Amino acid sequence: MNIPTIGGTRGIFEIFVPGMFLLLNIGITVYSFPFLDDHTRNLMASLAMNSILDLVVAVCFGYLIGVLLRLIKTDSLDKFSAWWLRVFDTKVKDKIVNGKQTYRLNATEGFPYIGWIGQVAKGYLPPEALHFYDKIWVQRQRPSNQNKQFFNFCKLVVSCDDEKAANEIYAAEALTRYIASMYYALLMASVLIIGTIILYVVFWNQWLVGMFVLLAAYLCAIIIIVQRFRKMRIREVEVVFAASYKNRDLFEEKKGRK
């Protein structure tokens, strides 16, 4: 996997920001830990007031945590989002076969959704796009509905030849990766907050209203991400398909080529 540099926009956007978010939540929960002694708590507060040390911790640990979040596969979130659509979104329902409800490919197929892209090309795109799909993309479809190698190949080939298309591909990919990393960061932060609340209720008989508000906000964000992630990832694939169609001469065999 290509790990972006911390000095570039790419690293700041989908790696550094989610990492810093989770690092901040870890600091809040540790500081709020009911069994933490006053000396340690005062030490943490004094360290937080040191701007230089804060910067070092943020760059080192924030980026590290962001990279670890980035290493978590997005397929789990993608499958969860697809399940959510099948349960709550009536638009993805297809016909009933043998008494069982079937669903459209955008709620069942695995990444990179080659079958669904074919339906989009057939129903919404110009005939030339469908011809390109039938000639290049459909042949790369596999029974497991997974062919990430072909998808990454298309991205690399287009990116090396078309800078504008590469920027569009990266923008769609970066947004997807950022949302996925934030989902896992929100999920872990929510677990930390729930654990802190339970400790206070059990051992101190106290209710942390602020923690409840924070937890509610995080859970709302998680639900919104789950609702829309599959659609966002399909959009990423649609961008790559459009870019590869625009640069179809890179994929189609030329006459006279050996």
Tokens of 71: 């290493």
* Alpha-carbon gap, residue 100 to 97, rounded angstroms: 5
Q: What is the dihedral of CA 169, 175, 179, 185, to 10 degrees?
A: 100
pLDDT of residue 100 exceeding 90, the answer is no
Q: What pLDDT is attached to residue 4?
A: 47
State pLDDT tens for residues 181-228. Answer: 999 999 999 999 998 888 888 777 777 788 889 999 999 999 999 999
Q: Which of 215, 172, 188 is nearest to 23 (CA)?
A: 188
pLDDT of residue 79 exceeding 80, the answer is yes
CB 171, CB 13: distance < 8 Å: no
State pLDDT tens for residues 25-52. Answer: 988 887 777 666 666 666 666 666 666 7
Q: What pLDDT is attached to residue 47?
A: 62
State pLDDT tens for residues 131-178. Answer: 999 999 988 887 766 788 999 999 999 999 888 999 899 889 989 999
CB 230, CB 78: distance < 8 Å: yes
